[in-house]
Structure 1
Amino acid sequence: MDEADSVKFRQQLLMVAEDLGREDVEALKFLCQDFIPFGKLEAMTSACAVFQFLICNDMVNQEDTFVLAELLYRIQRNNLLHRIGYTKEKVQENLHLRGKVSEFRQMLYGLSEEFTEDDLRTAEFLLRGYLPRRQSIMSGMELLTALERKGFLSENDLYLLEELCSKVSQDLLIRINTYKMKKVSLSVQESKGPASSSVPEPSFGSTSLHAAIQEGSIQHPTKNLESYGSLREHTGHVHSFGSNPGIEAGNLVGHSEQSLKLREQDDESKTTSSLYKMDGPCRGHCLIFNNVNFDESLRPRMGSQKDADELERVFKWLGLEVVTYNDRTSIEIRDHLEEWQSSKKWKDSDCLVCCILTHGKSGGIYGTDALLIPIRTIMSYFTAKRCPLLATKPKLFFIQACQGNKTQKPVYLEADAGDRGHLGSDAQSTGSFSAQQMMPSIPEEADFLLGMATVDGYLSFRHTREGTWYIQALCSKLLELIPSGEDILSILTAVNKDVSDRADPRGSIKQMPQPAYTLRKKLIFPVPRDPPPSQQ
């Protein structure tokens, strides 16, 4: 390429690098361990250094940036793909043929994201004979890298890792077992014959870790963090991988006498562990972002105040402390979320509820300055890694915003009371962001629930006096069903039914909400002593 093209290409990479934070860079380095020597990776302190190595080794150039696109996709920075000529869908189409990151490395990266601070401290204690004697391990990636460098972890030697995970969190074993099964399946496909026996014997013979575990001297709560794939849509039942009796952990040849057995729980403990704890000193905090007035490119959202007032009334009744923010820009919303992320109030709180009422577009919501914030970014402030005080606690997000410009059509026509002239939508099209700049995505973390007013790509509707269909149905069903002891997913199913039954007077407009979640337990709000606000 000529000098001008080279400069332009490097400017594009620089823009990508500037948008990557410290944790993103560490993730890139971790995923590159299969094709960049560790000694060189250790000296790299920026994304630009990683990019430079890839360029110098002809893995990335102006004509072919797929390796970089795959790395951005793996660390869930899909919003940057358009800068190097890719989309999320285009990367996915080419992964099976051109993917550079091994299945083993993908498994380790996914595993590293699931380690909590408590998990790391427990792992350090159990592995004190295996890890370097220096400062504390700060991340799951650092822990796994240390085990690899010491020779205790490799693609064909997962024994120590499995023993560790069986003590730290049995749910972590599921990701390892999924990898092992996939590896066997691929071997079968390649050989076109029966798969060989299980994972080879480990190369080291030390059993000190197992001995420490067997002594029973280390006590810690069993964790059940589930973050397998994307958030699953609620279809009437909770998907619980952690309780699947068909999945066995630690079933390795040659270690039958030393393998740890999954703890058996009696019926009473199962009942207790299947519910989120909701009896702490503080029920929780409800954050309401209510955007009504925008700059000239976006229409005012008349009727939204009705929603905000109703949400405040309902969640105060449920015992949460409610804080409402009116007409906030994208920067102000981020600032508020950052403040709450570091708040000490979560220590005694049972849960977080965050309601956002604004205009939106696929995968994001607008501040009053008409700038988009990805929904994934909003939720990421409160992951177990970034907000440890909320780890294992339910985090509920309710988003009242359009996710596109398409209108859902009814299967049959049914008139509904109301004035069509007072119906508005929470969509808009300023044209300031392209579809490539905003990719819909949500965190692959445990204990989240995301309630969307509409499915991706479609409008949601708001009455200019009575509020939105979705928020009004949500508040109504919370008031109606919580006194009956219904869990939140059952309540959201009832909300789906309520909203899907609504239509404009001519029956030409419909709306379908969409809950998605990684909840691991049932969430049931305690029945308040006071009667519902509507009965007071």
Structure 2
Amino acid sequence: MECDFSLKFHQQLLLIDEDLVSEDVAALKFLCADLLPFKKLEHVKSAVDIFQLLMAEEYLNEEDTFLLAELLYRIKCHSLLRKLGYTKEKVQECLHERGRVSLYRQMLYELSENITNEMLTEIIFLLQNYLPKRWVTLSTLELLIVLEKQGLLAEDNVQVLEEICMKVSPDLLETVNHYKRTKVSLPQQENTLPVKESSLSHIGDIASPQETSIKSVSSPNYDNRAANLTQGFSEINLKLPGQFSNIENETKKMTSYKMDGPHRGFCLIFNNVHFGGSLLERKGSCKDAEELERVFTWLGLDVTTYTDRTSQEIEELMRAWQNLQAHKDRDCFICCILSHGESGAIYGKDEKLLSIRRIMSHFTAKKCPQLAEKPKLFFIQACQGKEIQRPVYVEADAQNPGLPSTQHSVSPSESIPEEADFLLGMATIDGYVSFRHIEQGAWYIQALCSKLQLLVPRGEDILSILTEVNEDVGRRVDRLGTKKQMPQPAYTLRRKLIFPIPRDPPPSQQHRGF
């Protein structure tokens, strides 16, 4: 009877193997990298090979098939779960207590699923000096394994991975950020069962889980490779958002800006609604300005709003605030500009362009030493390209049709002064319009205010919040379903920027009387 039971079990495994393609086998190998010796995984040709290794390590047997069910669930082969007597819902229920695939491995696999072939080509180009010469072509999963073997990627060291994401596609950062947030909030991760000591000892320089954090700090080879890689990034002149992001040291934990002083800082809001000539009135912008004032006041900043200012007046006001001695007692500085715009510039009321870089340059450490080493945030609600045809309730913050753009294309990263501690949040990517509802306000500003109110009380840092803003705005569409928008942050922040949690409830809750 026992022999029959074992035979049936092996027949089940063979049936599962027959339904898995080579990509599925590669995914299973990757997800097992923390559980099985890597040298043995290198020789795997089929799913049956993996099953045999799991059985040899006592992770899989006739009486306990949950690990295999989890692996099939992770690679989204839900129909195969029935062959093991499971359903998708049943696996989900058991994951918290019985899951063995680490959060780290889950994060890497999810990330690989979102990296396109084009992104992979860019990543390999960026890393070409750090990859073995024998690798002519790499899959995303193979690339991640190589980075682990090189000591450039580990459970407690994902900074290089963050840098790569920022170079290639900032949207990918949300997967990494979610992993970091979950890892901090859940000391006992989903894989609460112990991992065998040999599981990671065969992956190049990566040690077992108990040794990883120590080795990542003490290994001189790791330090050298990480330093060289970061230097390599800085030498590549790519016009991608975040190209000025500064990851200080791969082995040094990222700290936060000091934000616990008696005075948070000043916030300026420039709200240009009416213009003197061909530019349209920016209906709905006053709602944005009011919402920004409420939210940043709630966050502890002293807010000053200027309405309908010429480009010269804006520049003069920037000089005045640049020389304000009171900055030395503040934690940060914020400036929001709501206007029409062109590539790399915004319009004053007089319809003259003012460079965003010029505006921000007034607050460099040299020109405004009181704000040296303090975060300086700029949020720009303005088009960065020509107007497109607008539907009934949506207007574009750009010139009238037929009026040519007068600026050369300038990416957000080029607008930031080439020194630390700046963040530029653009409502849209270069060359495109941004949208504003004539009653409800701009998509970007409303999303920004909403996410600040939601996520600051949760202790999220500003870059995680802006990623959520990207997600929010990216999902929006005009009522005809034809107009889309994607914001774009660029920054030279050196640390995490986390606003202290206000004592009062968010303005939206105060307004509703909660």
TM-score, normalisation: structure 2: 0.51
2:448 is aligned to 474
Q: Confirm or deny: 8 A CA contact 1:290 1:358 kept in the other structure.
A: yes
| Superposed counterparts of 1:207-286, under 5 Å | 233=241, 239-245=245-251, 270=253, 274-286=255-267
1:315 is aligned to 296
Query: Per the alignment, do residues 232 and 521 of structure 1 end up closer, same or farther by CA in structure 2, a change over 3 Å counting?
Result: farther
Query: Per the alignment, do residues 322 and 231 of structure 1 end up closer, same or farther by CA in structure 2, a change over 3 Å counting?
Result: farther
Q: Confirm or deny: 8 A CA contact 2:383 2:396 kept in the other structure.
A: yes
Deviations 1:49-98 (A, max 9, x none): xxxxxxxxxxxxxxxxxxxxxxxxxxxxxxxxxxxxxxxxxxxxxxxxxx
Distance 1:317 1:304 in 2: 20
| Superposed counterparts of 1:63-78, under 5 Å | none
- Runs (4+) of structure 1 exceeding 2 A deviation are 226-235, 238-241, 429-441
1:533 to 484, 507, 510: 507
Do residues 358 (structure 1) and 339 (structure 2) align?
Answer: yes
Query: Per the alignment, do residues 227 and 473 of structure 1 end up closer, same or farther by CA in structure 2, a change over 3 Å counting?
Result: farther
Do residues 434 (structure 1) and 442 (structure 2) align?
Answer: no
1:424 is aligned to 395
1:497 is aligned to 471
2:365 is aligned to 384
Letter of the 1:529 partner, please give it.
R
Query: Per the alignment, do residues 304 and 346 of structure 1 end up closer, same or farther by CA in structure 2, a change over 3 Å counting?
Result: same
| Superposed counterparts of 1:72-91, under 5 Å | none
Instruction: Provide structure 2 residue ranges, at least 5 long, that are not aligned to the other structure.
Output: 1-223
| Superposed counterparts of 1:44-443, under 5 Å | 233=241, 239-245=245-251, 270=253, 274-405=255-386, 420-428=391-399, 431=403, 434-436=406-408, 441-442=414-415, 443=417
Paired residue total: 282
How many Å apart are 1:523 and its aligned residue?
0.4
SS of 1:243's partner is coil
How many Å apart are 1:420 and its aligned residue?
4.2
Distance 2:429 2:345 in 1: 13
Letter of the 2:345 partner, please give it.
G
Identity %: 59
Larger gyration radius, structure 1 or structure 2: 2
Letter of the 2:503 partner, please give it.
R
Letter of the 2:281 partner, please give it.
P
Distance 1:240 1:362 in 2: 25
SS of 1:355's partner is strand
Instruction: Provide structure 1 residue ranges, at least 5 long, that are not aligned to the other structure.
Output: 1-173, 183-225, 246-264, 409-418
Distance 2:467 2:348 in 1: 29
Deviations 1:459-499 (A, max 9, x none): 00011111000000000000011000000000000000000
How many Å apart are 1:310 and its aligned residue?
0.1
Letter of the 1:340 partner, please give it.
W
Distance 1:231 1:527 in 2: 35
Q: Confirm or deny: 8 A CA contact 2:421 2:493 kept in the other structure.
A: yes
Distance 1:535 1:512 in 2: 27
Letter of the 1:233 partner, please give it.
P
Q: Confirm or deny: 8 A CA contact 2:409 2:430 kept in the other structure.
A: no
Distance 2:457 2:490 in 1: 24
Q: Confirm or deny: 8 A CA contact 2:270 2:337 kept in the other structure.
A: yes
Letter of the 2:241 partner, please give it.
E
SS of 2:248's partner is helix
Query: Per the alignment, do residues 446 and 242 of structure 1 end up closer, same or farther by CA in structure 2, a change over 3 Å counting?
Result: same
1:449 is aligned to 423
2:214 is aligned to none
How many Å apart are 1:405 and its aligned residue?
1.7
Deviations 1:18-46 (A, max 9, x none): xxxxxxxxxxxxxxxxxxxxxxxxxxxxx
Query: Per the alignment, do residues 381 and 347 of structure 1 end up closer, same or farther by CA in structure 2, a change over 3 Å counting?
Result: same
2:488 is aligned to 514
Q: Confirm or deny: 8 A CA contact 2:319 2:362 kept in the other structure.
A: yes
Deviations 1:405-454 (A, max 9, x none): 2659xxxxxxxxxx941210101158586334978732211100000000
Distance 1:458 1:324 in 2: 27
Query: Per the alignment, do residues 420 and 437 of structure 1 end up closer, same or farther by CA in structure 2, a change over 3 Å counting?
Result: closer
